[in-house]
Structure 1
Amino acid sequence: MQGETDSFDAVMEATVPGMDRPGRPAGENWDVDDEEETRRRLPRLAALFLDQEN
């Protein structure tokens, strides 16, 4: 089912017992809606998705 994640989590926990999953992503927070920041951090993806003419 699209958008459903409970079964994925259950399979991962059964497959990798004792797996320590963080509650939040690691690393520095940044505004993903800031196009200039996105271009600086993810230049190749920005070139593909932000720099396209519609």
Structure 2
Amino acid sequence: MTTGKDLLALGFKSGEWFKDALAHLNAHGLEGAARLAYLDTVKQQNIDAVQLSMR
């Protein structure tokens, strides 16, 4: 089971997205490389959303 502490330990900053990300990770049992791949996707989506909001 992935927790918020796990995400923080990986260097991610907490935010509103944590709840949904943790739910997805745990519902699908993602670990290791699959977990990191999902988190990279979510991270890029958050970056894109911030960039759009700054326009």
Q: TM-score, normalised by structure 2?
A: 0.29
Instruction: Kindly indicate which of the two structures has a greater share of residues assigned to helix.
Output: 2
Q: TM-score, normalised by structure 1?
A: 0.29
Structure with larger RCO (C-alpha < 8 A, sep 6+)? 2
Rg comparison, structure with higher value: 1
